[in-house]
Chain A
Amino acid sequence: MLGKTAGGLLWMARYLERSENMARLVETGLRIALTRSSSAEDEWASIIATAAASDRFVAAGHRYESGDAIDFLLRAGDNPSSVCAALTAARNNARLVRTALTREAWEAINVCWMTVTDALKQSVEPTEVPSLLSLVRQQCALVRGAMQGSLLRNEIYNFIRIGTFLERADNTLRILDVKYYVLLPEIAYVGSSLDNVQWETILRAASADRSFGWLHGGEISPAEIASFLIFDSRMPRSLAFCYAEITENLGRMARDSASASTSTGMATDMLNRLRHLSINDVFEIGLHQFIASFIRNNAVLATTIEREFRFYE
């Protein structure tokens, strides 16, 4: 496969994942704004921070309220990570790697892009936001389904998976990074209503509220939330899950080519670290330090992959 194609596939998947993550953030923010109006401003601020776009948001003169924040995350021209921009980037990459995709996969992405950008041509009325988000979810699910159902399980698929999980790990890490302080054990107001909002935000942003409930019943403790998002390999947005996928897909390519692979080694080390640490170790290290260093390593892994597989000249 051409290096350029590998890069295009990986970025196509990253942008697809990103657009879904952005939609999920909007959903979380909207939910909180509707149910707890008092803290809405703070919540939008942390959601924009999770999208790694605070500076740009403030610089553009937006205010932390539902209208501005939703428009910014969904479609603003000045936000390169908006749902619209991310889908456009995903589709452009898909066009670049058209020959590596099946017709089903390409058509699904093309239709997803056409449908969503069309629906986002004008600003979205607040009452329309829920149905719009469900449109995005549905379209992205169709794309994933078309890829699952039609792509050969070869390096094409491997690069798509790696892109998806690099981006997802980054997203989960950012959710944790922005809110880490409410998960620290020494924070005293456990059980207060403020805390519940914060925890709910974290779980919702990671689409983990229901699954957490399933596994932990009604009992919520910050350590369990942190542990769930970092270590629980059953949870498809946890770091452990993402890194198991990345390692598996890198490993498969390394086995096929029977050559030494720096990035495989690196990903495996990161996965092993996740497997051998406990949440108490993480608190020992410092939750924030742990997250910050993982974010850095995730980015280093991405550039290592880029170099190893010759994405660029």
Chain B
Amino acid sequence: MEASANFFNEMQNGSADVRAPYAVYHQWFETEDNGRLLRKAREAEQLFRRTGITFNVYGANDAEERLIPFDVVPRIISAPEWRKLTRGIEQRVRALNAFLYDIYHRQEILRSGRVPSELIVSNSAFLPQMIGMTPPGAIYTHIAGIDIVRTGEDAFFVLEDNVRTPSGVSYMLENRETMLQMFPELFAKIRVRRVSDYPKKLRRSLAACAPAGAAARPVVAVLTPGIHNSAYFEHAFLADQMGAELVEGHDLQIVDGRVAMRTTRGYQPIDVLYRRVDDDFLDPLSFRADSTLGLAGLFDLYRAGRVTLANAPGAGIADDKAVYSYMPDIVEFYTGEKPILQNVPTWRCAEADALNYVLEHLSELVVKEVHGSGGYGMLVGPAASQSECAAFAAKLRANPANYIAQPTLALSTVPVLTKAGLAPRHVDLRPFVLVAPEGVDITPGGLTRVALQEGSLVVNSSQGGGTKDTWVLEE
């Protein structure tokens, strides 16, 4: 295997020692023929194509549906590592929920001065319409995806919180299915915790947040923007696995003060909408008037407690990248504990000193738009040319509050399979978290994204990243 001294390799760091979680896998791998594994990898791709696990790329008209490349080498996490991660994630998600409740009620954290008011009040992700409204169970982030990066044996950082409509869970599930189908012998040797009950747990936790007065078995539906959305496959997949209907705005109507879907036998009320439509598009009467993806009047019904929306509108204020930089304070403020998982150090360009520092060190930093996602609109300093840096500096000066900057992290690597055998590539991890009145549930595993190009640190699928199956080992 190529050695890369500067980065933490999760399988085999530095010397020849294979790290414990990978021991059995590595042993098996050594006895395998690379040609056979490459054939398996091609088989996997066929499997994904047949199943139609594709995503649509915005702005690409020739290849409307693409596959996210899948690498057959699993990412393996030991039980103790996972225990630490889950403690940290649970703490963080509880804090995020408490923060949202507070922000839309008494705003204690703003009064205390721990988080500046203007950051919240003038933020487009903050929905004044949500003020004073308490969702069932006071839960805002029913589904969260917490992006984690690793730089060393014990060094885990939260890179991003995703509490709007985190996607990728279908890949977690399908990657596992694919691995089970292709390498059953591995699962006999290595005890890997299951992820397959996620859809059932999702349904249960959504149902647990149904409005008061819903039926004993609440009606759950998934609201999708439609067949052309990049994550349509996932929407259909989750609806299917939960046994819920997959609806679009034009399937919905308000009937007798309830949100109802048009069925072959008339309108049927819905109790919980797992919506994969952004806040702005939910209701043309309350938000963007030109939206055809939602339902006029939906928000009023939500406020009146006639339907539950998951995640809650306005939850996005908690994963705003400028708010992110306050997360250590936020965790402490609401839990009274030190954060278990660290933030990545972040410069808020809105602050003059920070802006100056960022401008001077642009070639070393990663600069992100506060509201950006999917790897769009960001600058990776070390990989950018001088002219790219200069152009970005101009944008920064023009609107500093729109940006944050972080050091270029030495992301850990996990090997991928190449023609020449294993080769290290950078990875991150998105575990999926469900929040219900009974508690927080974190599925053991998650989505490991991997930058397939040698040396690249950008793992986003929209930027050519791939995925791996993520194994959490049994205790």
List the interface of chain A (C-beta within 8 A of B).
1-6, 92, 95-96, 98-99, 103, 106-107, 110-111, 114, 155, 253, 257, 259, 309-310, 313
Contacts of B80 in A (CB 8 A): none
Identify B251's interface contact among A2, A99, A107, CB under 8 A. Answer: A2
Contacts of A106 in B (CB 8 A): 52
B65 to chain A, nearest CB (A): 9
Contacts of B52 in A (CB 8 A): 95, 98, 106-107, 110
The docked-state distance in angstroms from the alpha carbon of A98 to that of B239 is 9
Question: Are the C-beta atoms of B251 and A3 separated by less than 8 Å?
Answer: yes
Contacts of A5 in B (CB 8 A): 245
Question: Are the C-beta atoms of B263 and A1 separated by less than 8 Å?
Answer: yes
Question: Are the C-beta atoms of A310 and B264 separated by less than 8 Å?
Answer: yes
The docked-state distance in angstroms from the alpha carbon of A107 to that of B174 is 14
Give the size category of B's interface with A.
20 to 34
B403 to chain A, nearest CB (A): 38
Given contacts A2-B251, A3-B251, contact A155 B264 (CB under 8 A): yes
Question: Are the C-beta atoms of B49 and A6 separated by less than 8 Å?
Answer: no
Question: Are the C-beta atoms of B227 and A92 separated by less than 8 Å?
Answer: yes
Given contacts A92-B227, A99-B239, A313-B250, contact A3 B262 (CB under 8 A): yes
Identify A2's interface contact among B49, B237, B263, CB under 8 A. Answer: B263
Question: Are the C-beta atoms of B251 and A98 separated by less than 8 Å?
Answer: no
Question: Are the C-beta atoms of B50 and A6 separated by less than 8 Å?
Answer: no
Q: Chain A at the B interface: mostly helix, strand, loop or mixed?
A: helix
**Which one of B51, B227, B263 has the greatest number of beta carbons of chain A within 10 Å?**
B263
B272 to chain A, nearest CB (A): 16
The docked-state distance in angstroms from the alpha carbon of A111 to that of B244 is 25
**Which one of B239, B244, B251, B265 has the greatest number of beta carbons of chain A within 10 Å?**
B265
Could you tell me which residues of chain B, from 237 to 258, have a CB within 8 Å of some CB in chain A?
A: 237, 239-240, 244-248, 250-251
Question: Are the C-beta atoms of B51 and A3 separated by less than 8 Å?
Answer: no
Question: Are the C-beta atoms of A310 and B50 separated by less than 8 Å?
Answer: no
B240 to chain A, nearest CB (A): 4
The docked-state distance in angstroms from the alpha carbon of A257 to that of B263 is 13
Contacts of B247 in A (CB 8 A): 2
B275 to chain A, nearest CB (A): 16
Contacts of A155 in B (CB 8 A): 264
Q: List 29 A-B contacts (CB under 8 A).
A: A1-B264, A2-B247, A2-B262, A2-B264, A3-B262, A3-B263, A3-B264, A4-B250, A4-B251, A95-B232, A95-B236, A98-B236, A99-B236, A99-B239, A99-B244, A99-B245, A99-B246, A103-B51, A106-B52, A107-B52, A110-B49, A110-B50, A114-B49, A259-B265, A310-B262, A310-B263, A310-B264, A313-B250, A313-B262
Contacts of A259 in B (CB 8 A): 265
Contacts of A96 in B (CB 8 A): 227
Please give me the residue from chain B that is nearest to A107 by CB atom: B50
- B261 at interface (Cβ–Cβ under 8 A)? yes
Question: Are the C-beta atoms of B265 and A107 separated by less than 8 Å?
Answer: no
A290 to chain B, nearest CB (A): 32
The docked-state distance in angstroms from the alpha carbon of A103 to that of B51 is 8
